[in-house]
Amino acid sequence: MEYSFKNHLGEKILCALEKNDSKTLAIMAHGFRGSKEYPLFKEIEKSLKKIGIDSLRIDFSGCGESEGDFSESTIKKQAKEICIAINKLKYEKIILIGQSMGCASSLIASGMNKKVSAMILINPLVFPHVTFQDSLIKFSPYVFLKKLRIEKSLLAKKNKKIKKFLKEEIVGKDMLEEIKTLDLICLAKKTGIPALIIHGKFDELIPVSHAQYLNNILLQSDLEVLNYPHNPLRKKSVKEVAFHSIKFIKKLKEKFLK
């Protein structure tokens, strides 16, 4: 069913809520410029239904069907949106399931709300500044040009591909400033809840070593390295990631989830 709420700026946030009469809710946080329609999240939603866990797939502001301008987005803003959803839905326990940048938002949100009982971090963004500089810039000409502060109009005349990217701001100055100082490792050291990290062996954006480092920092975590790139889009990879996610949640359910 469709569910919506207003974030702290009054922007309407659209979500997909699957109710299975559970006291536990799994909130799925998508990655950079993603949406709640991410195939992996839909697969996890189906699997959660089978074991009786409620789920919420969220479109962050400026993404999918939600209101807002993505150029005004930040990781902390997305974390606040997760926390607002938690407070409005009033479940006893929360599992956060993030992918890529959604992992960073989930990690921050876990420290903001005591109801968060566990996390699943899929290809987690661990070092935002490093990743944005060394990886994301390669795949986003607009970000590259914005960073170098090159005049838009002159470049747009020379290159049609660049002109296409200039129509929409992909990363705003607030996020570029935020990632310079955002210390997710410091937050991870304070996180005592159970966590599962799943990372693609062939991730072209975030190296496996980042996930391994995070696994060593978190107090209660396991790491699964699977054969897929940054986004598990192939049917086999989607099912494999969903399988490990549900296996982890089943163990939690046996211990303390209802």
Across the range 196-225, mean pLDDT stands at 96
Give the integer Cα–Cα distance in Å for 12 and 85. Answer: 12
At position 148, the amino acid (one-letter code) is L
Give the pLDDT of residue 254: 82
Domain assignment of residue 87, given as a range: 2-126+183-255
Give the model confidence (pLDDT) of 41-52 as tens digits.
Answer: 999 999 999 999
Number of domains, the chain: 1
In a domain, 158, yes or no: no
Count of residues for the chain? 258
Q: Report if residue 163 sits inside a domain.
A: no
C-alpha to C-alpha distance for 155 and 198, rounded to whole angstroms: 40
What CATH number corresponds to the domain at position 212? Answer: 3.40.50.1820
Residue 172 lies in a domain: no
Tokens 């659209």 map to which residue?
14
Q: Is position 224 within any domain?
A: yes
> Does 48 fall in a domain?
yes
Confidence of residue 171 (pLDDT cuts 50, 70, 90): confident
Q: What's this model's pTM, rounded to 2 decimal places? A: 0.88
- Evaluate whether residue 164 is within a structural domain: no
Percentage of the chain beyond pLDDT 70 is: 85
Asked whether residue 237 carries a pLDDT value surpassing 80, the answer given is yes
The closest alpha carbon to 13, from 64, 67, 56, belongs to: 67
Question: In this structure, which amino acid lies at residue 211?
Answer: A
Determine the 3-state secondary structure of 49 from DSSP: helix
Taking Cα atoms as reference points, which of 143, 147, 148 lies closest to residue 165?
A: 143
Is 154 among the domain residues? Answer: no
Has residue 151 been placed in a domain?
no
